[in-house]
């Protein structure tokens, strides 16, 4: 017995996806590679994580909807954000 649910979808009920850059409608599948520190993986070597994406067959652009979701930039903290601009201490000579 097959536990997979089959869906009857009519092509007219779908929406065509176009390249955001050149409006071409044919895409190829590629892979983004992300490096993962060995401290995160808990292994002796850094790891590599493949992320499948679709890119435009004409111009190579990757639509935003095909990119992996990341944290918003405002959630990222830089060194400048935590480094005091002026020392709160006074040096007495």
pLDDT at 77 (0 to 100): 47
- 58 C-beta neighbours (distance < 10 Å), count: 15
The residue ranges of every structural domain in the chain are 17-61
Q: What b-and-e string marks burial along 10-28, b requiring 16 or more CB atoms within 10 Å of the CB?
A: eeeeeeeeebeeeeeeebe
Strand intervals (E) in the chain:
27-36, 47-56
The pLDDT tens digits for 12-40 are 999 999 999 999 999 999 999 999 999 99
- What is d(CA 55, CA 68) in angstroms, rounded to the nearest whole number? 13
d(CA 82, CA 91): 22
């Amino acid at each position: 017995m097959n536990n997979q649910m089959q869906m009857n979808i009519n092509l007219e009920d779908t929406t065509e996806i176009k390249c955001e850059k050149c409006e071409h409608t044919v895409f190829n599948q590629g892979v983004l590679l992300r490096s993962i520190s060995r401290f995160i993986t808990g292994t002796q070597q850094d790891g590599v994580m493949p992320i499948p994406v679709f890119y435009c067959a004409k111009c190579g652009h990757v639509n935003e909807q095909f990119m992996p979701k990341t944290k918003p930039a405002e959630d990222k903290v830089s060194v400048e954000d935590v480094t005091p601009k002026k020392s709160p201490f006074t040096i007495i000579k």
